[in-house]
Amino acid sequence: MAGAVVPAIRIQREDFDVAAEIACLTKGRADIGAVVTFSGLCRDEQGALSALELEHYPGMAEAEIGRIAAEAVERWPLQGLTVIHRHGKIAPGENIVLVVAASSHRQAAFEAANFLMDYLKSRAPFWKKEHRADGSEGGWVEAKEADDQAADRWKKHSD
Amino acid sequence: MSTKLIYFAWVRERIGKPEEDVDLPSGIETVADLLRWLKSRGEEYENALQYPDVIRVAINQEHVGHREKIAGAREIALFPPMTGG
């Protein structure tokens, strides 16, 4: 593999185009054999939710996702990696997060994307607040124990 | 030396401000000391930091544990467990 992969990380209010992000990683290359994408979308919770408001810690959000992405690049033979996380008010059906991992073979791409998402959930400084469809005040989404456990399974034995 | 404290999500809402500069009294050496001191500063802090164990902390934009020393910190952020992704 020629040169170290520099992950592309963007924290933005605007939506993203999944196909365009894949094309951006693969354009002009013939060495990539596998691209795995994960898109996280806003659910309406059976009609109860009108929007999610995503608060983030500017500066640290980029830095922390950068640290997680750097670890992924070190652990798997990736040829490209893009992570985009939106903030602000997001309506049901809209995109929230995107991970695109490219590699020669599928296993590295699948695992790296999975690892990225597990770590983003428990370590990237974002917080979701619910806006309810009936106009009542929604609360802050509570962190799930299962998300911490999902991240823990990637820990190396030496950690 | 004054230290910038930044709050997010329900910690910010309960304290009632997004950030503030504070002069830490002597004897505040660790994150746990800071949380204990802040909690004594009034009802809104007491309310936000009622269960200090759940509060996550970052020093200079990196996650730290509650036993971490805070000497030299420019920016300390307090927030609930994260729910991004």
Q: What is the largest CA-CA distance in chain A?
A: 54
- Is B25's Cβ below 8 Å from some Cβ in A? no
Residue spans of the domains in chain B: they are 2-79
* pLDDT given at position B63: 98
* pLDDT given at position A4: 77
A156 is a domain residue: no
Q: Is the pLDDT of residue A26 over 50?
A: yes
- Is B63's Cβ below 8 Å from some Cβ in A? yes
Q: Is the pLDDT of residue A157 over 80?
A: no
Structural domain tally of chain A? 1
Q: Is the pLDDT of residue A2 over 60?
A: no
pLDDT in tens, A48-106: 999 999 999 999 999 999 999 999 999 999 999 999 999 999 999 999 999 999 999 99
Give SS3 for A136. coil
A63 is a domain residue: yes
What are the chain B neighbours of A117 within 8 Å (beta carbons)? Answer: 85
CB proximity list for A31: less than 8 A, separation 6 or greater:
A79, A104
A147 is a domain residue: no
pLDDT in tens, B11-64: 999 999 999 999 999 999 999 999 999 999 999 999 999 999 999 999 999 999
Parent domain of A91: 8-142
Q: Is the pLDDT of residue A1 over 50?
A: no
Q: Is the pLDDT of residue A3 over 50?
A: yes
pLDDT in tens, A93-134: 999 999 999 999 999 999 999 999 999 999 999 999 999 999
ipTM for the predicted complex: 0.96
b/e string for A81-100 if b means 16 or more Cβ within 10 A? bbbbbbbeebebeebbbbbb
For B2-79, CATH number out of 3.40.50.2300, 3.10.20.30, 1.10.3470.10, 3.30.70.2740 equals 3.10.20.30
Report how far Cα A14 is from the mean position of its chain's Cα atoms: 15
CB proximity list for A65: less than 8 A, separation 6 or greater:
A9, A11, A83, A85, A120, A124
The CATH number that applies at residue A39 is 3.90.1170.40
* CA of A42 vs chain B CAs: smallest distance (Å): 10
Q: Is the pLDDT of residue A27 over 60?
A: yes
